[in-house]
C-alpha cells in the first residue's frame, strides 16, 4: 500500500457514506452524522478497543500489528471478541494521531504487516483511510474481514489493501441467518470473494465449527474447489464456545479430534492450497 493511493477524492467518497451508509450489505442508508444508526450501530467515530503486535496469524502475515475496531455488521453467536465486537462505543477514538503513535511504538517489534480487524473494519472504512493517509512507510496492509461489504466499499480499498484475510464462515444461507444474523450470506460472500480475488492477494480463512461439517464446511470446500481452486485456504481448528454459543446445542462444546481430522481430509481430497 502507498499513502498516495488515499487521495482527497477517495477520502471524500468514503466520508459520504457517513451521511448515507452503503458500506455493508445491510445497505441501511442511515445518516450516521445525524445520530441515525443501522444494524451495526456504528456512528461517525471509529474506536480501537485493542492494538498490539501479535504472532498467531498465518505465517505469510505474522508478526502483524493488529488494530481491533469495535462494532460489526454480523452477529455471530460464537464471536471470540464478544461485546467488544458488537458495541461500537468501546475503545479509544481512532485518530491519525493515535494511529501514528501506535505504529511507531510497534516498529521495534518489526511487524511484517499491519492488520485492520474487528468487529468488522469495513463499517469504519472512512476513519481507517483518514488514519492511514497521514502515516507513510506502513507495512503491508491486511484487511481482516467478514467480506459482507458492498462493491462500493471494496472500490474504496482498491490499491490501499495489500491482502484480504477473509472469513468464509458459513456454507449456506440458513446457518448464516441462524448463527450469523444476516440474510443471503453465501450469495454475498461468494460474489465478494470473486471480486477481491481479482484485485490483490487473498487468504480465505474458515473457523471449523462443531456440528457444521456437512452443512457448512464441506459446501465451502466444494465451492472453493470449483471457483477459486488456487486461493490460499487457512483452516482454523481452535474453536471454543464464546459469547452466546452455549445457547446453541451443537456450538456449546469444543471441536472433537474426529471433526478436525475429517476436515483436514476433506480439504486435502479437494486439492485446496492450504496455508498455516
Q: Which domains does the chain have, with CATH numbers?
A: 3-274 (3.20.20.70)
CA distance 170 to 154: 21
- Report pLDDT for 2: 64
Q: Can you give the pLDDT at residue 1? A: 58
Decide: 60 and 232 in contact? Cβ < 8 Å.
Answer: yes
Residue 109, phi then psi, degrees to nearest 5? -85, -5
**pLDDT, position 123:** 98
Query: What pLDDT tens digit does each residue of the chain (276 aa) get?
Result: 567 899 999 999 999 999 999 999 999 999 999 999 999 999 999 999 999 999 999 999 999 999 999 999 999 999 999 999 999 999 999 999 999 999 999 999 999 999 999 999 999 999 999 999 989 889 999 999 999 999 999 999 999 999 999 999 999 999 999 999 999 999 999 999 999 998 999 999 999 999 999 999 999 999 999 999 999 999 999 999 999 999 999 999 999 999 999 999 999 999 999 999
pLDDT for residue 4: 81
Looking at residue 184, what is its pLDDT?
98
pLDDT at 195: 97
Q: Give the integer Cα–Cα distance in Å for 66 and 184.
A: 29
The whole-number pLDDT of residue 136 equals 85
* Cα-based distances in Å from 100 to 73, 97, 103, 263: 27, 5, 5, 41
Show the 3-state SS of the chain.
Answer: CCHHHCCHHHHHHHHHHHCCCCCECCCCCCCHHHCCCCCCCCCCCCEEEEEEEECCCCCCCCCEEEEEECCCCCCCCCCCCHHHHHCCCCCEECCHHHHHHHHHHHHHHCCCEEEEECCCHHHHHHHHHHHHHCCCCCCEEEEEECCCECHHHHHHHCCCCCEEEEECCCCCHHHHHHHHCCCCHHHHHHHHHHHHHCCCEEEEEEECCCCCHHHHHHHHHHHHHHHCCCCEEEEECCCCCCCCHHHCHHHCCCCCHHHHHHHHHHHHHHCCEECC
Residue 247 burial (CB < 10 Å; 0-12/13-18/19+)?
Answer: exposed
**How close are the terminal C-alpha atoms of the chain, in Å?**
24
Q: Kindly report the length of the chain.
A: 276
pLDDT of residue 134: 84
pTM of the model: 0.96
Q: Are strands 140-145 and 92-93 parallel, antiparallel or unpaired?
A: unpaired
Amino acid at each position: 500500500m502507498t499513502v498516495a493511493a488515499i487521495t482527497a477524492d477517495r477520502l471524500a467518497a468514503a466520508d459520504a457514506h457517513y451521511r448515507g451508509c452503503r458500506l455493508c450489505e445491510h445497505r441501511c442508508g442511515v445518516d450516521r452524522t445525524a445520530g441515525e444508526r443501522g444494524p451495526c450501530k456504528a456512528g461517525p467515530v471509529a474506536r480501537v478497543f485493542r492494538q498490539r503486535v501479535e504472532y498467531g496469524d498465518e505465517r505469510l502475515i505474522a508478526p502483524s500489528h493488529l488494530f481491533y475496531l469495535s462494532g460489526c455488521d454480523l452477529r455471530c453467536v460464537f464471536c471470540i471478541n464478544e461485546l467488544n465486537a458488537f458495541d461500537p462505543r468501546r475503545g479509544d477514538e481512532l485518530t491519525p494521531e493515535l494511529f501514528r503513535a501506535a505504529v511507531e511504538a510497534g516498529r521495534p517489534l518489526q511487524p511484517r504487516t499491519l492488520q485492520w480487524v474487528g468487529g468488522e473494519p469495513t463499517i469504519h472504512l472512512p476513519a481507517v483511510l483518514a488514519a492511514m493517509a497521514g502515516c507513510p512507510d506502513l507495512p503491508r496492509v491486511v484487511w481482516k474481514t467478514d467480506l459482507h461489504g458492498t462493491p462500493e466499499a471494496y472500490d474504496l480499498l482498491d490499491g490501499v489493501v495489500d491482502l484480504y484475510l477473509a472469513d468464509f464462515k458459513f456454507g449456506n444461507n440458513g446457518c448464516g441467518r441462524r448463527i450469523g444474523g444476516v440474510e443471503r450470506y453465501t450469495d454475498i460472500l461468494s460474489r465478494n470473494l470473486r471480486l477481491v480475488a481479482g484485485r490483490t492477494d487473498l487468504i480465505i480463512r474458515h473457523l471449523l465449527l462443531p456440528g457444521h461439517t456437512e452443512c457448512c464446511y464441506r459446501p465451502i470446500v466444494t465451492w472453493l474447489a470449483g471457483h477459486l481452486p488456487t486461493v490460499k485456504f487457512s483452516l482454523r481448528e481452535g474453536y471454543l464456545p464464546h459469547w452466546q454459543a452455549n445457547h446453541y446445542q451443537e456450538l456449546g462444546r469444543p471441536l472433537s479430534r474426529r471433526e478436525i481430522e475429517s476436515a483436514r481430509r476433506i480439504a486435502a481430497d479437494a486439492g485446496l492450497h492450504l496455508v498455516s
